[in-house]
Amino acid sequence: MSNNNEIQARNALQKMKPYSPGKSITEVQRELGLTNVIKLASNENPLGPSPKALKAIQASLLELHRYPDAQTTDLKQTIASKIGIAPEQLVVTNGADELITLVSEAFLDPGDEVIVPDPSFSEYEFGATLMGAVTIQVPLQEGYLYNADAILAAVTSRTKMLYLCSPNNPTGTYLTKSDLQQILNQLPSHVLVVLDAAYSHYASAEDYTDGLEFVKAGYPVLVLQTFSKIYGLAGIRVGFGAAPKEVIQSILQVKEPFNVNALAQAASIAAAGDDEHVRRSQELVVGERQRFYEAFRRLGLEYTESMSNFVLVKLGSDAFACYEKLMAKGVIVRYGRIWGLPEHVRITIGTPEENDRLITVLQEVIASS
């Protein structure tokens, strides 16, 4: 046997950058010999999963020898009545990440152009590169704000998709409803808009839109949602998309039949009905966001006001050293270099106790640097 085979992966794979998930609690415990580690790095819900979801999972365990419902009928019905849209306008996926891959597979040919805001979520580029499409980055403006004119100026005859992440990860800034209206009015009809509303439940601004009203009005918009963030189910992987029927039908053509497992379906049906859990999670974030701002101001740190459950904070030229010192003190945040922001960190809002600890530790780190 020889290892000198000539098997080659697709050319597109040479351009693909691996996703960097950040360090886990157990990794940091092991590597640094720490016990009490907190993670404010992945925008998870610090209140945990909905208790109703946990009960639903337990009740489903004895049926695990059965295949899950390939159509996710009950879950789609639950979502449909909750957001006021027809089940035919929904697709449920193994996390919203899978939806990004599926929409790329369904709509992108080699050479197509995909417009993405910069900085933003890295999976958009992943999907585009996977299909041999070209990513066109449009920088956010001063203060990381969206600029509708700049986005429209990037559109060409080859543009196939336009991603808008609102609230945007990692900046927390958002696209106003009037800007989205302007973009939709002026966009050529061959462009599909993907509005990533993963953090929509945390957006409290009057002029914010989660995009669903535009889907209902018939615009070529795919709204992406997830059960990973406010619903606290990141570990079980459920997301969904809402769009015009024809868009959904194309996505369904590339979807594997059993992409959403049985426990995930049961859990998200229950979580979608747990308004109390959602309300508590929202209140926590909106209140603690203000406390973060006050602390950052007190520490003399520049930050970007956020409509989400995380805040982008500027630590300056020794940001990486600060990030490492925070980790050495058992607090994991996300370092900004992956977004081209080497002087920033993104800090997820945790429980009040976790946030107290972050503030104390950040103060110590800044004082020592």
Ligand X SMILES: *Cc1c(COP(=O)(O)O)cnc(C)c1O
Binding site for ligand X (CB under 6 A): 43, 95-97, 121, 165, 169, 196, 198, 226, 228-229, 234, 239
Q: Which is nearer to ligand X, 43 or 209 (CB)?
A: 43
Q: 143: phi > 0 → left, psi -120 to 50 → alpha, else beta; which?
A: left
Output the smallest distance, CB 198 to ligand X, in A: 4
Output the smallest distance, CB 237 to ligand X, in A: 6
* Number of helices (H), then strands (E), in the chain: 13, 13
Q: Which is nearer to ligand X, 310 or 325 (CB)?
A: 310
Angle separating helix axes 95-107 and 245-254, nearest 10 degrees: 100
Q: Which is nearer to ligand X, 196 or 274 (CB)?
A: 196
Output the smallest distance, CB 168 to ligand X, in A: 7
Determine the Cα angle at 350 with ends 143 and 303, to 5°: 20
Q: How far apart are alpha carbons 69 and 60 in whole angstroms?
A: 13
Query: Exposed/middle/buried for 308, CB within 10 Å: 0-12, 13-18, 19+?
Result: buried
Output the smallest distance, CB 341 to ligand X, in A: 15
| List of residues 6+ apart from 263 with CB closer than 8 A | 57, 60, 61, 64, 236
Q: Which is nearer to ligand X, 95 or 336 (CB)?
A: 95
DSSP 67: P
Q: Which is nearer to ligand X, 151 or 359 (CB)?
A: 151
Q: Which is nearer to ligand X, 97 or 125 (CB)?
A: 97
Q: Which is nearer to ligand X, 228 or 265 (CB)?
A: 228
Output the smallest distance, CB 310 to ligand X, in A: 9
Output the smallest distance, CB 212 to ligand X, in A: 16
Q: Are strands 331-332 and 159-165 parallel, antiparallel or unpaired?
A: unpaired
Instruction: For residue 311, give the nearest of 210, 231, 199 by alpha carbon.
Output: 199
Output the smallest distance, CB 363 to ligand X, in A: 28
Residue 322 to residues 8, 60, 353, 368, Cα–Cα distance (Å):
42, 45, 21, 9
Q: Among all residues, whose Cβ is closest to ligand X?
A: 95
Query: Exposed/middle/buried for 65, CB within 10 Å: 0-12, 13-18, 19+?
Result: exposed
